Homo-oligomer: A and B are copies of this chain.
Amino acid sequence: MDNIHNYAGSMMSAMELPSTVEWGMHCCWLLAQTPPDSPLPRRRLAEFYGLPEPYLAKALKALVNAGILVATTGPRGGYLLARPAEKITALDVVIAVDGDTEMFRCTEIRQRGPVGLSPGQCRRSCGIASLMHNAETAWRNELAATTIADLLTSSAMGSRSRATKWLGTLAARS
C-alpha cells in the first residue's frame, strides 16, 4: 500500500506514540517501587533502562509538570511518584508525555463548497466526527482503567525482583 497520508510525505503513520511514552510508563513503574526516602536520580533511571539521559530528561520534566512525579534537588535528590501508584492511570502518563490533543480534528468540511451546510444545520455533530471521537474515547477509557499500581501487580515476579534488588543495592551504596 502506498503510505500517502500527509503533506510532508513521511512514510510513518501520524498515529505513532513517541518512545518517551514507553519510557515514562516504565519509569513510573520503577518509581512505584522506589523507597520514599531514596528519590531516584535521573541518571539511575536512564541507567536502569539503558536510555539516553538528555531525552529521558524531557519525559521526566513533562511528568513533573503534570504533577505525576516530584523532583528533589541536592546530592541525594531525584524523582519520586507525586501520589500513590493507585492514583496514577496510564492515561495520565500518556497525556503528560504526549499532550492532550484529540486524535481527530473535525474541520467542518461539510460547511464548505457550493452546497455546504449552514452553521445552523450543523448544530448536531457530524456523524464522522462523532464516530472518530467515540473511538478515541474507547482508547482513553481503556488507558484510564489501568493504574501504575495495576501494572505493578500484573508484573512477572522476575521483573519486580530485579528492580527491588537493584534499588536495594543503590540504597546500600548511598
- Interface size on A, as a range, is 35 or more
| Copies of this chain in its oligomeric complex | 2
Contacting residues of chain A (106-126) with chain B, CB-CB under 8 angstroms: 106-107, 109-110, 112-117, 121, 124
Interface of A is mostly: helix
Contact call B20/A5, Cβ cutoff below 8 A: yes
Q: Contact at A114–B48, with CB atoms within 8 Å?
A: yes
- For residue A2, CB closer than 8 A to chain B, the reply is yes
Q: Which residues of B contact A17 (CB under 8 A)?
A: 14-15, 103-105, 132
Knowing A22-B128, A114-B166, A128-B22, the reply to whether A109 touches B14 (Cβ < 8 A) is no
Chain A residues with a Cβ under 8 A of chain B: 1-7, 11-23, 25-26, 29, 47-51, 55, 58-59, 61-62, 65-66, 90, 96-107, 109-110, 112-117, 121, 124, 127-128, 131-132, 134-136, 138-143, 146, 151, 154-156, 158-159, 162-163, 165-166
